[in-house]
Chains A and B, each alone.
Chain A
């Protein structure tokens, strides 16, 4: 079975532009989470979606938004890009959103460079 897939793998944008990152979860997984990993740091939680509803949001500005589609895939949008948005954006899927079971399965990430 395919793992978590993300696209694009690499992209370069300029300040002020907008970017959309895409994620397809593992088949059967209904929850998708997004993390930002700045170079030299650990991943930081941005969003979690489950059954197309936002279930959690990290400490990120409103320039960051996301959505989940009926097929459980997800998009992360970032508007008005800043240099500080340059990072690896990781998508992770899980079967559930809450509870005592399950683990996160990560994709390989989308490397965003803002010039």
Chain B
């Protein structure tokens, strides 16, 4: 069975600085998707970025980028130029390519942005 681990329960970053959130996962599959979701206090999960395992190039979305290390089964999220609106819970998630859209989530990292 696949597992997702986020070892940082909470992180803080100064506004305009850069922060990296860690995620490791375990799977025997060779093809899969990885995601970072943001959950602000409003509770709605919002997709931040996604990575296809077969792509070696790291995904980027504006200020958000990932460091995908397939052999190490590591998938970290880097947030550049942090803004107050980035404060939220961040969840790393895994989904198999085969089968249904069952997501496996980590336990989350609470990001605080300090003004």
Contacts and interface: CB of A to CB of B under 8 A. Distances in A.
Interface of B: 4, 35, 37, 42-47, 50, 91, 93, 97-108
A105 B46 CA distance: 7
Given A42-B91, A43-B91, A48 B102 contact: yes
A56 B99 contact: yes
A108 B101 contact: no
A28 interface: no
Contacts of A88: 43
Contacts of A15: none
Interface in A75-112: 88, 90, 92, 94, 96-98, 100, 102-109, 111
24 contacts: A3-B44, A33-B101, A41-B107, A41-B108, A42-B93, A42-B105, A42-B107, A43-B45, A43-B91, A43-B103, A45-B102, A50-B100, A55-B100, A56-B102, A58-B102, A88-B43, A90-B45, A94-B101, A97-B101, A98-B99, A103-B50, A106-B45, A108-B43, A109-B43
A44 interface: yes
B43 A103 contact: no
Contacts of B47: 103-105
A73 interface: no
A100 B43 CA distance: 27
B44 A107 contact: yes
B97 to A, nearest CB: 6
